[in-house]
Amino acid sequence: MDNRRIYHKDEILQVEITDIADGGEGIGRVDGYTLFVKDAVIGDTVRAKIMKAGKSYAFARLVQIVSPSDYRVPPRCPVAKQCGGCQIQELSYEKQLQYKQEKVKNDLIRIGGFSPEMIERIMEPIVGMDDPWRFRNKAQMPVGCSGKDSKAPTAGFYAGRTHSIIPVSDCLTGAQGNSAVVRAVLTYMKENNVPAYDEQSGRGIVRHILIRTGFSSGQVMVCIVANAARLPGCEELIELLRAVPGMTSISININKEKTNVILGRTTKTLWGSDTIKDSLRILSEDFTCSGRSVDFRISPRSFYQVNPGQTEKLYSLALQYAGLDGTQTVWDIYCGIGTISLFLAGSARHVFGVEIIPEAVEDARSNAVLNNIANVTFETGKAEEVLPAYIQRVKETPDVVVVDPPRKGCDEKCLQAILQVRPQKIVYISCDPATLSRDLKTLVSGGYQLQRVRPVDQFGHTVHVETVVLLTHKD
Ligand code: SAH
């Protein structure tokens, strides 16, 4: 029945790139056959060599750009291609935003089953970054040896999907001060003959450099992850790091396990404070001015939003969508360190947060104390288990439910618990438009109407996109 031509490995095809895949590859089609071409962007016409051929699709390598896309820009970062961090740095930022807006729209229509007219009518324009560079407040750089025969330490990033280190001291999406920290650590290692950790043999000492910067406070934290309980000659390390502007906390984390997990269980402060401070502002509707702000204390282990500038916008939008006037009871499901709970608390009667990771809940509770917020309570556990029990125990039902689940979306039992308590409003914050669309389908068939949708770009140059959605009950 199918007389389509069969494609083979090493064949070279010319193709126009029309879309972006979830992994960031350019997508092009030749007579219905789909090619995924890494490093090709929407609008390019390219020649690509098939590396792995399937029946209906293939992964191909870019051989030549026959005619470049109008949206193609030179990558700012010299290792944009090798490094796994940014997938679409060669697409102009405006086009990246347009792609993300379309992606959310298409998923809502295709997976959520909403009509294109309705989505067109209610969808608000994506909130982009004012400057899509230097936005990440956290860097975790692996440390290794520069070559097979060289013992000289190097730090950088893993090449996409591998464990070989590309030496880069400065990631352009990270904080400006990171390169000075990396230089200081490498200098210390060379001068004191402190070896980098070798994944293969399990020998050596320095595994990772973890750097966090409080963008509002200017405070910098460095944590050296080591395959040892102490760092030889660590006074010199401290001396060198103290010269970095904003240095507030220097610590060692001990990780002697042969594992991919970065942090070990024990952290010891070597110099300065155990934590750094940061705060997130609650912004007005047009994001120009702020009223209150919420303070956070961050330890090397803490979970904390990685792009604080866009987080302020995302959570301020969620607060606006919730439309609180001080009288409502709110649930914040998948609450992490309670960022949203604390954003909402000032406008709510009570906020109840649920989170699976005990350390995050501890952070949420101490952040509440730090901000003198008393009308929030948190419970540790799986949302799908905590909520049914909570409904039995506490008879009060919420007026507004906020969910901010991981990429796999909400558990079915969690959605059923929400439908059971029938809040007036549901605010859904999502980092995956596909699972968002799937869950919205369930909520809509449970009696809710989609009112507002707005994508927010938290991670420029990647294919990720966040979305805030407001649903209201039909009655
Ligand atoms: N709003 C949070 C971040 C949410 S990210 C903040 O500002 O910190 C999603 C969170 O859901 C993570 O903290 C993750 O640990 C948590 N999580 C994952 N599965 C869960 C489950 N089944 N029940 C409750 N929380 C869960």
Q: What is the pLDDT of residues 337-380, one digit of tens each?
A: 999 999 999 999 999 999 999 999 999 999 999 999 999 999 99
Give the whole-angstrom CA distance, residue 57 versus residue 51: 11
Distance of CA 288 to the CA centre of its chain: 24
Would the CATH topology of 138-274 be identical to that of 280-473? Answer: no
Ligand 1, from 137, 304, 330, 334: best to mutate by most atoms within 8 Å of Cβ? Answer: 334
Interval between CA 304 and ligand 1 midpoint (Å): 12
Read off φ and ψ for residue 339, nearest 5 degrees.
Answer: -55, -50
Look up the CATH architecture of domain 12-67: Beta Barrel (2.40)
Does ligand 1 have an atom closer than 6 angstroms to the CB of 427?
no
Ligand 1, from 279, 296, 335: best to mutate by most atoms within 8 Å of Cβ? Answer: 335
- The H or E element spanning position 316 is helix 308-322
Q: Quick check: 3 pLDDT over 70? A: no
Does ligand 1 have an atom closer than 6 angstroms to the CB of 356?
yes
Average pLDDT, the chain: 95
Say which residues have a Cβ less than 8 Å from residue 311's Cβ, sequence separation at least 6.
280, 305, 339, 458
Does ligand 1 have an atom closer than 6 angstroms to the CB of 203?
no
Q: What is the pLDDT of residues 455-471, one digit of tens each?
A: 999 999 999 999 999 99
- Helix axes of 412-421 and 383-393: crossing angle, nearest 10 degrees: 30
Reported as half-sphere exposure (CB side, CA atoms, 13 A), residue 253 has a value of 23
Q: Which residues are catalytic?
A: 431
Give the whole-angstrom CA distance, residue 260 versus residue 300: 17
Q: What is the pLDDT of residues 298-335, one digit of tens each?
A: 999 999 999 999 999 999 999 999 999 999 999 999 99
- The H or E element spanning position 17 is strand 12-20
Q: Where are the domains of the chain?
A: 12-67, 138-274, 280-473
CATH class of 280-473: alpha beta
> Is the Cβ–Cβ distance between 305 and 276 less than 8 Å?
no
Interval between CA 206 and ligand 1 midpoint (Å): 30
- For the chain, how many helices (H) and strands (E)? 10, 21
Reported as half-sphere exposure (CB side, CA atoms, 13 A), residue 85 has a value of 23
Q: Quick check: 11 pLDDT over 90? A: yes
Q: What is the pLDDT of residues 217-228, one digit of tens each?
A: 999 999 999 999
CATH fold, domain 138-274, is: OB fold (Dihydrolipoamide Acetyltransferase, E2P) (2.40.50)
pLDDT of residue 250: 98
Radius of gyration, alpha carbons of the chain? 24
DSSP assigned state of 7: P
Does ligand 1 have an atom closer than 6 angstroms to the CB of 336?
yes
Token couple for 136: 């990440």
Closest CA to 122 of 472, 419, 435: 472
Does ligand 1 have an atom closer than 6 angstroms to the CB of 401?
no
The mean pLDDT of 171-175, rounded to a whole number, is 94
Does ligand 1 have an atom closer than 6 angstroms to the CB of 354?
yes
- The H or E element spanning position 350 is strand 350-355
Token couple for 90: 């060669």
Interval between CA 29 and ligand 1 midpoint (Å): 38
Residue 244, SS3? coil
Q: Which atom of ligand 1 is nearest to the CA of 339?
A: 7
> Between the CA of residue 176 and those of 77, 88, 285, 394, 437, what are the distances in Å?
14, 21, 30, 48, 37
Amino acid identity for residue 188 in this structure: Y
Shortest-distance Cα residue to atom 10 of ligand 1: 334
Does ligand 1 have an atom closer than 6 angstroms to the CB of 122?
no
Give the whole-angstrom CA distance, residue 175 versus residue 218: 10
Interval between CA 305 and ligand 1 midpoint (Å): 12
Token couple for 44: 């390019």
